[in-house]
């Protein structure tokens, strides 16, 4: 399903979250990597996204085996 589009889930999650603009950005244009990339709250969100992706992949494999 998504494995063709995101071969490295952790990197995809980090790339996605690093590009989201934040309210604390100094330049205010919202373009480019976030300056808060090393903030623990962002890393926590990355972890949740990767865990959700892994869970969906696992469920897809189970459904294929049961079919």
Alpha helices per DSSP H over the chain: 9-18, 40-66
pLDDT digits (tens, 9 = 90+) for 2-43: 555 555 666 666 666 555 555 555 555 555 555 555 555 556
CA 16 to chain centre: 6
Q: What is the dihedral of CA 27, 29, 33, 36, to 10 degrees?
A: 50
pTM: 0.36
In three-state secondary structure terms, 18 is: helix
Give me the pLDDT at residue 50, please: 85
> What percent of the chain stands above pLDDT 90?
19
Cα-based distances in Å from 22 to 11, 12, 36, 64: 20, 19, 8, 40
């Amino acid at each position: 399903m998504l494995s063709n589009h995101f071969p490295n889930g952790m990197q995809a999650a980090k790339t996605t979250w690093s590009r989201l603009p934040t309210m604390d950005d100094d330049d205010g244009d919202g373009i480019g990597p976030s300056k808060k990339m090393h903030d623990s709250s962002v890393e926590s969100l990355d972890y949740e996204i990767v865990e959700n992706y892994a869970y969906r992949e696992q469920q897809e494999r189970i459904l294929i085996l049961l079919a």
